[in-house]
Chains A and B, each alone.
Chain A
Amino acid sequence: MNNQNVAMTLLLCLTGQAIYAADYASETDYYQEFPVVLSASRLSQPLSEAPNAMTVIDRKMIIASGFRTIADLFKLVPGMYVSYYKGSQPIVAYHGSTDQYARRMQVMIDGRSVYMPLDSTVDWADLPITVDDIERIEVIRGPAAASHGANSTQGVISITTRDAGVMDGKSVSVTRGSKGINDVSARFGRRGDTLDYRMTLAYSADNGYDNLSAPPNSIPVAQSKAAGLLNNSFDSNQARLLNYRADYHPNAADRYDIQFGFNHDVQAVGWTDSVGNPVHDLFSNSGFVQLGWIRSLDDNAEFSLRYSHIGQDQHEAFTVVSLAAQSVQSSRDEIELQHTLPLSGSNRLVYGAAWRNDRVAAQGYAQALFLLYKASPAYSSSSNTNEYRLFAHDEWRITPRFLLNTGGMFETDAMGHQNVSPRVALNFHVTPQHTLRMGTSVAYRTPALGESTFRILQPGALFVPNATVTSPGLMPERLLSREIGYLGEFPDWASSLDLRLFSDQVSNGLFYDTTFKKSFVNGMSSAYQGLEATVKHSFDEDRHVTLNFAHELARSNAPSLVAAGYLKLVSSAPWTNDILSGSTPRNSASLLYSQHLAHDVNFSAAYYYQAAMQPFDRGIIDFQPIQRRVDACVAKAFNQGGGVKGELALVLQNLFDTKYTEYVANNVFNRRGYVTLTLNW
């Protein structure tokens, strides 16, 4: 005991009774019981133990990227194709996309599946969360139906929003920038003994992309104009959203997650020179409610029950000859039960069951359909489907070096098909720093409602399905994936390497047939092979870099389908006769560098590269040349005193103004910048 403490003790002796109880720790401090906080569902799986290749985008990367939209974040995932049909209609697809509705991925927010029932795609602009509500994104590259359910075919995006207890106070943030960028958000949160909650109110607006003003790729002006390529797009977007998350933990064993949110989004859609889809506003209202209950059981076991509801109501009015209007209402209810059960110290089983109900109702009225095609001017459809699934996943540490992940999902899908999606992966820790992974899995994608009930005559921006099935007998797409992965940690060089060689084969692939039936048909077989790598390196404590690279070769039976008369599959890419091969960027890369400077200044820079490609269902006029882009971000944190802290950040995107075009060449990405001021108190 040092002298200071003796003096303190003596002093206390003179001044008070029961000295130890009040001023010193007692055995009750040492032996108090605590609830299990970091339970199985809280702990994320380390990459070296995961049964799949996985990319994690954490808050640090989100901040360093400077991105203000969620879809852009996926540019940091090797092999991910991120492009735009409109400024607020991103396409996020692994292994490329066959059209503007990327529908081969499972996308979840806090475990709630958010791809919409109609076309199995995510309406990124109408999600009720902002980039700043995200704690972490895990992207599984490859199928993972055993652990993530239906539609987990090409990959899984799993977004975890920030904990209810992440903030205790208030925060406001204002962003102003070029291209009409104008964001405001207010957040507040409270941490309590049994209840934590946080809430976000946000407004986000921008004017989308710049228009293409001159013909690209030496296409003649007349052809560009005829193809509807120049100065004809409006894609401004305004979203008003709210989300709330509460975590109620009344005792050591139970935890309740309560969430709800809304987004009212107005986006400009259409083209000035389009007859069927003139420029107009598309209104989308989306909302969700999610209730979760997690009960911690003895021996690290856990039981969880989750209910979620998502809904979206969209409508638009526009003039095609005379006034036309369309609306779509979609909703989904889902219940999932899950039991996590350690069978032994080295074996853990997760199993459960889920039910899902999807409903879509859509209506349209366009006099022009009657005038031009003698079709009924009023049309509508509705659908109500159920699907059920059982799943189990076992993680067995056979020895400290070998980890075997086995799992499977059995589903009865919305169309009544029954599928079994198995997965097996073996992770071999050559040393604790070096891991080899071999895995194989099968997953199915049930055709989207929009594919089985595709309508040919489709004015406007919304899609109203046909009242009856137009593509009878569609089967689920099947994907077989095989991969070999390597994860290495090199502490001496402060570096890590994540390498993956993969071979994915799609059978029963769906494609749009315009020759014979004008509907979707099965019959495309495709294969994707490639290599993906992520290197992370820290130069020192303050300087970090992440490099992602993907080299991918895709091929399909499209040439023989073309020979058989399916002319929609004729390749527009001059360098290949395989439409799929041409539409998959052969090489893509991203680099994110961040540096902490003196005086609370942070600097980051990013570089994005994508090889030239020909978007699958677009003509040669939408050819996407090599895309190169550099973003930079500088932020200065300050402490105003009196409990007020803040940050001023400047983001410059496409610093060198490479003016690249997107999935539709009408969209030109010019240099843009914005400034964000955030205050916390």
Chain B
Amino acid sequence: MTPAKKIALCLLLLLGFVPAAFSAGALHVLVVQSDNKPLYHTFTKALAESLPATVDLSTRVLAEDFDAQRADLVVTVGVAAADWVADKTSRPMIAAMIPADSYAGLLEKRGSAKKTSAIYLDQPWARQVRFVRAALPERRKIGVLYAAETRVSVQALRAEFARNDRTLVARPLHDPDSLFSDLEDVLAASDVLLAVPDAGVYNGSSIRNILLSSYRRGIPLVGFSQAYVRAGALCAIFSTPEQLAAQTGAAIISFARSGDLPEARYPALYTIDVNREVARTLGISVSSAEFLRLQVDKPSGNSR
């Protein structure tokens, strides 16, 4: 049994489903990728591995190639595919790998929540905040720099941090040229910098100076992908494409069994990664990933 399959099975058991329950004829699932890129192939491959042979999986590697062929269920991978497919079919759809904030827009296009599920890409803020607290218990001023309000729900984040006895220092970018002076302002007022998925601030060309500036001040960056940790962030919490695929697989099996789509969900599976070298240099003792996970998971039933 492949690891992805194992995870899917565990998930099913977790969600209270019995895998043996589906026995009706083959389910036709069409996977529509946003692009012909390794990220999406990784997802599709892991998804295929998590499904039993009774599920008949076919793939469109480019969203543009989508045709409303006879499929019992459409799984889109990524934002572009979801966007493309949304109003082109009325078949049940699972939009995997989309940000939670975009689900409402998707529903708007689709019209029916019953036929539209999603596996979100991002971690719920509550989980993210608990993670920051667990990893850096002594740091209480959390800095966030963002360009577009739509990418970060500052109010929700502020409330969540307040609940966890933390202060959010959130600053919008004044203009695209002021990134580094705005960053210095945020760093001057905070003791952790929390990266947000906002390409106006965090992109391939800015990450270098963001990491160097925060490092110079001894302020750790908390990221949201493995790439951040490799680049020099202290730690990150994120879901890999494989983990999203496993959850999607479980949702497909559940659909095969009951004919109903599960409701849209945040990732049930996630990974915690810590850059030990950076931790040592900054003089921060970060608990093991396993221990952090226990603390992040402490209040149960938190996936939404």
Chain A residues close to B by CB (< 8 Å): 1-2, 4-6, 8-10, 12-13, 18-21, 23-27, 29-40, 42-46, 48-49, 59, 135, 163, 165-166, 168-169, 191, 193-194, 196, 249, 300, 432, 491, 643
Whether B143 is near chain A, meaning CB under 8 Å from some CB there, is no
Measured CB to CB, the nearest residue on chain A to B151 is: A25
Known: A5-B101, A31-B39. A300 touches B209 (CB 8 A): no
Taking CB atoms, residues of chain B closer than 8 Å to A33 are 204, 227
The distance in angstroms between the C-alpha atoms of A9 and B107, with both chains bound, is: 10
- Which residues of A sit under 8 angstroms from B196, Cβ to Cβ? 25
A18 to B121, CA, bound (A): 18
Q: A37-B211, A37-B232 are in contact. Are A24 and B101 (CB under 8 A)?
A: yes
Bound-complex Cα distance A249 to B207 (A): 12
Question: B172 interface residue, CB < 8 Å from A?
Answer: no
A-B contact pairs, 19 of them (CB 8 A): A1-B101, A19-B105, A20-B98, A20-B102, A20-B106, A25-B99, A25-B122, A25-B197, A25-B198, A25-B199, A26-B99, A29-B197, A30-B122, A30-B197, A37-B231, A38-B232, A42-B215, A46-B280, A59-B216
Contacting pair A23 B108 (CB below 8 A): no
Judge whether B102 and A24 touch: CB under 8 Å.
yes
Judge if B161 is at the interface, Cβ distance under 8 Å.
no
Q: Which of A2, A23, A193, A432 contacts B148 (CB 8 A)?
A: A23
Q: Known contacts A42-B215, A43-B278, A46-B280; decide if A2 and B155 are in contact (CB<8 Å).
A: yes
B2 at the interface (CB under 8 A from A): no
| A30-B122, A163-B216 known; A37-B101 Cβ under 8 A | no
Please pick, from A26, A34, A491, the residue contacting B230 in the complex, using a CB distance under 8 A. Answer: A34
Q: A5-B101, A49-B280 are in contact. Are A20 and B83 (CB under 8 A)?
A: yes
Residues of A within 8 A of B215 (CB): 38, 42
Interface residues of B in 103-150 (CB under 8 A from A): 103-106, 108-109, 121-122, 138, 148-150
Chain A hits for B281, CB < 8 A: 38, 43-46
Flag the segment in B5-13, B46-54, B74-82, B295-303 that touches A: B74-82
Pairwise interchain contact A32-B108, C-beta atoms closer than 8 A: no
Q: Per-residue 0/1 for B149-165: is the Cβ within 8 Å of any A Cβ (1 yes, 0 no)?
A: 11101011000000000
Asked whether A18 lies within 8 Å of B277 as measured between CB atoms, the reply is no
- A119 smallest CB distance to B (angstroms): 35
List residues 259-293 of chain B with CB under 8 A from any CB of chain A: 275, 277-278, 280-281, 283, 285
Residues of B within 8 A of A37 (CB): 207-208, 211-212, 231-232
> Is the Cβ of B225 less than 8 Å from the Cβ of A4?
no
- Assuming A4-B153, A9-B104, A12-B105, is B83 touching A21 (CB within 8 A)? yes
Please indicate the chain B residues that have their CB under 8 angstroms from the CB of A13 in the complex.
105, 108-109
What band does the interface of chain B fall in when counting residues whose beta carbon is under 8 Å from A? Answer: 35 or more
Rounded to whole angstroms, the CA-CA distance of A32 and B203 in the bound complex is 8
Any A CB within 8 A of the CB of B97: yes
Contact present for B231 and A38 (CB under 8 Å):
yes
A193 to B205, CA, bound (A): 5
Give the nearest-CB partner of B210 in chain A.
A37
Tell whether A27 pairs with B216 under 8 Å between CB atoms, given A13-B105, A19-B102, A19-B105. no
Q: What is B's interface to A at a CB cutoff of 8 Å?
A: 34, 39, 78-80, 82-83, 97-106, 108-109, 121-122, 138, 148-151, 153, 155-156, 180-181, 196-199, 202-205, 207-209, 211-212, 215-216, 224-225, 227-228, 230-232, 238, 241, 275, 277-278, 280-281, 283, 285
5 additional A-B residue pairs with CB within 8 Å, beyond A4-B155, A38-B278: A2-B153, A12-B150, A26-B79, A34-B207, A37-B232
**A166: B residues at CB distance < 8 A:** 216
Task: Give the complex CA separation of A5 and B122 in angstroms.
Answer: 16
In Å, the complex CA distance between A163 and B210 comes to: 13
* Majority DSSP secondary structure for residues of B touching A: helix
Complex-state Cα separation, A194 to B209, whole angstroms: 11
Q: How far is the CA of A40 from the CA of B280 in the complex (A)?
A: 12
CB pair B283–A46 under 8 Å, yes or no, is yes
Which 6 A-B residue pairings sit nearest by Cβ, starting from the closest?
A38-B232, A25-B197, A34-B231, A20-B102, A193-B205, A29-B197
- Tell me, in angstroms, the Cα distance from A12 to B228 when the chains sit together: 30
Contacts of B205 in A (CB 8 A): 193-194
Cβ B105 vs Cβ A20 within 8 A: yes
> Which residues of chain A are within 8 angstroms of B39 by Cβ–Cβ distance?
27, 31
- B104 to chain A minimum Cβ distance, whole angstroms, is 4
Chain A residues near B225 (CB-CB < 8 A): 30-32
Q: Provide the residues of chain A in CB contact with B207, threshold 8 Å.
A: 34-35, 37
**Distance A43 CA – B281 CA, assembled complex (angstroms):** 6
Task: Check if A24 sits within 8 Å of B99, measured CB to CB.
Answer: yes
Decide: A165 near B98, CB < 8 A? Known: A4-B153, A31-B227: no
Bound: A413/B215 CA distance, A: 38
Bound-state CA distance A12–B230 (Å) is 35
| Pairwise interchain contact B108-A10, C-beta atoms closer than 8 A | yes
Instruction: Considering the complex, give the chain A residue whose CB is closest to the CB of B150.
Output: A23
A399 to B106 CA separation, bound complex (whole angstroms) = 52
B79 touches A21 (CB 8 A): yes
Q: Is the CB of B278 within 8 A of A34?
A: no
Taking each of B102, B108, B203, which has the highest tally of chain A beta carbons within 10 Å of its own beta carbon? B102
Chain A residues contacting B285 (CB-CB under 8 Å) are 432
Which residues of A lie under 8 Å from residue B181 when comparing CB positions? 168-169, 643
Q: Which of A12, A21, A49 contacts B80 (CB 8 A)?
A: A21
Complex Cα gap A194–B208 (Å):
10
Closest A residue to B180 by CB, please name it. Answer: A168
CB distance A29 to B278 under 8 Å? no
Give the docked Cα–Cα distance between A48 and B212 (Å). 22
Point out the residues of chain B lying under 8 angstroms from A18, CB to CB. 83
Please determine whether B105 and A9 come into contact, CB atoms closer than 8 angstroms. Answer: yes
User: In the complex, which residue of chain B has the Cβ closest to the Cβ of A24?
Assistant: B102
Q: B104 to A35, Cβ gap below 8 A?
A: no
Which chain A residue shows the least CB distance to B95?
A20
User: CA of A27 to CA of B204 in the docked complex: distance in angstroms?
Assistant: 15
Which chain B residue shows the least CB distance to A23? B150
Contact status A31-B241, CB under 8 Å = yes
Shortest Cβ distance from residue B156 to the other chain A in the assembled complex, whole angstroms: 6
A18 and B197 CA atoms in complex are apart in Å by: 18
Q: How many angstroms from the CA of A163 to the CA of B156 in the assembled complex?
A: 36
Is there an interface contact between A27 and B238, defined as CB atoms closer than 8 Å?
no
Partner of A163, one of B83, B104, B199, B212: B212
Tell me the bound Cα distance from A584 to B42 in angstroms. Answer: 67
CA distance A432 to B280 in the complex (A): 11
Q: How far is the CA of A193 from the CA of B231 in the complex (A)?
A: 16
The minimal Cβ–Cβ distance linking B88 to chain A, given in whole angstroms, is 14
Decide: A26 near B150, CB < 8 A? Known: A165-B209, A432-B285. no
Instruction: Check if A36 sits within 8 Å of B148, measured CB to CB.
Output: no
**Distance of A38 Cα from B209 Cα, bound (Å):** 10
In whole angstroms, how far apart are the Cα atoms of A596 and B14 in the complex?
A: 53
Contact partners of A249 in chain B: CB under 8 A: 208
Which residue of chain A has the shortest Cβ distance to B106 in the bound complex? A20
CB atoms of A27 and B78 under 8 A apart: yes
Contact B180 A191 (CB under 8 A): yes
With the chains together, A369 CA to B104 CA distance in Å? Answer: 95
- What residues on A are CB-neighbors of B82 within 8 Å? 20
Complex interface: chain B residues within 8 A of A12 (CB): 105, 150
Q: Which residues of B contact A21 (CB under 8 A)?
A: 79-80, 83
A36 engages B209 (CB within 8 Å): no
B209 — which chain A residues lie within 8 A by C-beta? 165, 191, 196
Chain A residues lying within 8 Å of B204, measured Cβ to Cβ, are 32-35
Q: Which residues of A contact B138 (CB under 8 A)?
A: 491
